[in-house]
A and B are shown apart, each in its own frame.
Chain A
């Protein structure tokens, strides 16, 4: 089954304790992206990756890191989480970005993060 998986689905942590949220897709997609969703603010892009070893900042990259060592995986790293990073996080992937029909983004189920 074609899908985007994220782990963990729920996480409660404390300020400053490094964490990683994993994202994996099995569709051989080139483009992957991380979003955070907060009430009233919609989906805001954190980082994206056009292909392996190619990553770039989205609209709200501060406090986050990503890596794209393999095509299927795109982990989100919070080196020193803070309470303002409490949010619902989504990973998404698409075949590419910009080619008609190939830019449909498939979303993971979400990771609800609480930083105390």
Chain B
């Protein structure tokens, strides 16, 4: 069954800690995206990648980092520099002539 898998579903971060959110897709999509959603808000783009080993900053990249070593995987690291990390994080991918497919999301909270 093709799709996007995000893990974990819930994540807690301590002060000064980096945490990594996983996003894997088996749709053979070239482009992958990370969004942040705050309660009652729209989706804001953090980073996106259109090809392996390449990625671009979105609108709110500060305090986050990504890598794209494999086509299927686009992990997001929330660094300690991100002072307000509590949010719902959504990963998405897109292929030719297709809409964006979203994963189920990861809810990150501060301990």
Chain B binds chain A: no
A residues with a Cβ closer than 8 A to B are none
B residues with a Cβ closer than 8 A to A are none
